[in-house]
A and B are shown apart, each in its own frame.
Chain A
Amino acid sequence: MRCKKAETMILRSLDGRLDGRAAGDLEEHLRTCASCRKAEAEYRTMVSLLKTGKEEAPLPRFWERLEPRLKEEQKLVPLVLWERWALHAVPVFVAIVVLAAGLFVFTPQTRELSQSEALLLGNANPFSETRRLFEANRPEDKSMMLIFASLDEKPAVRSQRP
């Protein structure tokens, strides 16, 4: 085993992350390599000095000092509550919008029938009125008839279209 690999294994062994076989290999290497033995000892000393071993308590009356600060922050609670409410409201709002869009898209639309369609629906000849226009001999008459026809407002007929 090379010393570089042995060092990696030493580092792993510090955390107990070395399996039995690897630990055996490392042990064998350490028996024959003085520099790795020294490295291992140094790593172990270093890690033991780094470990605090216990949790330190904060300064006294930690909660008692924190509580007024929290109350101060509670002035922002309406905002926090609104945030919570908004968090739930957003998906509901999105669902409503999607539903409304779906209804709009899939609901049959009503539209105005053209004059010809209305006549056809009433079983009347749609060309009877325009025939006179086509039959006019003089172009001036034709133009005048067209102008008056366009001015002639007829009530729109509404019908359901499947």
Chain B
Amino acid sequence: MDDKQLVRLAQDGSPEAFEELVRKYQSKVFSMAMSFIRNKEAADDAAQEVFLKVYLALPKFHGKSEFGTWLYRIAVNHVKDVLRKQGRAKEVPLDDVREPSTTDENVLEKNVTARQAEDRKAVVQGFVQGLPEKYRTIVTLRDIQGLPYDEISRVLYLSPGTVDSRLHRARRMLRKKLTPYLSQEGGPHAL
């Protein structure tokens, strides 16, 4: 059964249809929440909240966009709210992206020594959290979640051109901060 049929059935009060939608999208929503929040319990709780919101908003969904896009939009907005409440989504001036703290550097050194791919990813993704919200969102959706451009454009209500320029700017900022750790020649912080 496709999403449209499941949504129609769920709107008519079928719990089975809604369960199927949840089972189909729970990993996508959780992964997205995890990319932003980076804490399993908090991301899981956020994913549950997202589906509660979706359940309550389902009667108002008229199918103007794909269900997945609509769900993602709710998820992104909810996760941003969660981060704002946690005070982690505070805007940072464009040229003032967070430098890694001593603790970060220690963690980084430890991870470099361990050479564990997952840890390296976690460290690099940690730098994403230091980006201003709009750049962090776009890098998370594109580079971490791997959403296509047009999907990001629909989820964030941005033109493809804005997605393009914002993503490029975000990657430039990120690279600037990561340069000491991206060195191919094996510098002190090479990943």
Contact = CB atoms under 8 A, between A and B. Distances in A.
Interface of A: 7-8, 11, 14-15, 17, 38-39, 41-43, 45-47, 49-52, 55-59, 62-63, 65-67, 69-70, 73, 76, 80, 83-84, 87
B161 interface: no
Contact of A62 (B22, B120, B175): B22
24 contacts: A8-B168, A11-B172, A14-B171, A15-B149, A17-B149, A39-B175, A43-B171, A45-B184, A46-B178, A47-B143, A47-B171, A49-B125, A50-B121, A50-B143, A51-B144, A56-B30, A56-B31, A57-B30, A58-B44, A65-B48, A67-B15, A67-B19, A69-B48, A83-B60
A43 B44 contact: no
A57 B175 contact: no
Contact of B31 (A52, A70, A83): A52
Given A39-B175, A66-B48, A69-B48, A83 B59 contact: yes
A49 to B, nearest CB: 4
Nearest to A54: B31
B121 to A, nearest CB: 5
Interface of B: 15, 18-19, 22-23, 26-28, 30-31, 34-35, 40-41, 43-44, 47-48, 51-52, 55-56, 59-60, 120-121, 124-125, 128, 139, 142-146, 149, 167-168, 171-172, 174-175, 178-179, 182, 184, 191
B27 A57 contact: yes
Q: DSSP class of A's interface residues: helix, strand, loop or mixed? A: helix
B56 A80 contact: yes
Given A46-B174, A52-B145, A58 B30 contact: yes
A56 B27 contact: yes
Q: DSSP class of B's interface residues: helix, strand, loop or mixed? A: helix
A14 B142 CA distance: 11
Contacts of A67: 15, 19
Nearest to A44: B182
Contacts of B128: 50
A82 to B, nearest CB: 10
A66 B51 CA distance: 8
Contacts of A62: 22, 26, 30, 44, 47-48
B171 A70 contact: no
A76 B53 CA distance: 13
A69 B53 CA distance: 11
Top-5 shortest CB links A-B: A58-B30, A50-B143, A49-B124, A55-B27, A42-B182
Nearest to A57: B27
